[in-house]
Structure 1
Amino acid sequence: MDGGITHIKTWNILYPAYINSKKTIAEGRRISASKACENPTALEIGDCCGHLKIPFAIEIDKAYSRDFMQVGRVRVMLKRPDGSLHNPLVSSKKQLMLRVAELVPRHPGRMKKQEAAVSASNVAPSKPGKGGKKKR
């Protein structure tokens, strides 16, 4: 990495809440809900930054102050020390959030979870006509 780990404190920070479609703006979402993704993790965001060829560091021990139950944040280096961009397609933090939110649903780890959920729901079909209100 050409920026060096010593300057990591100057990198931009991305919390998963910034691109979580389940959050409200008051809870920390920074992009529109329609463009956001569902429950991203710091690891998925980091992988997406790697895919975009943007240097990143995952800080798994850190938590977002508005939602301290979700741990992890990602530090990203959008610009080199000379001011040039690492990825010409990503010139701002906002653009990075939008690009990462597009990529997270296609994350390989997520694809496996979805396949497992689909196969699990097909295994045990529920019985029709059972449940609902009890007769008195």
Structure 2
Amino acid sequence: MAPSALEDLDWQSVYERPELSVRAAIIKLRGCDARLQALSPDLDALVRVAFCDAAYNGGWSHLQQDRQLCALQRGCDADQWFGHVELHSVKSREKWQGYGQSAYDINREHVRNTVPLQSRRMKYLPWLGV
């Protein structure tokens, strides 16, 4: 993490200074990106963004479990999100009471809404760097 960049972040400031929450999210996503580049240096930048978005919402360990599950499936490329890892998950597909969606649906929908070029992703490009 980057403690100096987040030294003012606490439970009070999170409500008063939204830029700190955005900064924390960007630091977390960039940390994920660095971990992915170290694990799989040949991953496409857009694939890394999709993986990190899924990890941001669902956890790094779940992303790695989903990639392993994909790798066990015939024809599934664990280094590709769209059409591959996105279809295989250890997350529950049972709808959560009060949400109307499952953990799987929430996680995958967020990636679909934010990562593809035709999504809302374009407004975040200056901060994500990809």
Q: Which structure carries more helix by proportion?
A: 2
**Bigger Cα Rg:** 1
Structure number with greater CO (CA < 8 Å, separation at least 6) is 1
| TM surpasses 0.5 | no
Normalized against structure 2, the TM-score is what? 0.30
Answer 1 or 2: which has greater strand percent: 1
TM-score (norm 1): 0.29
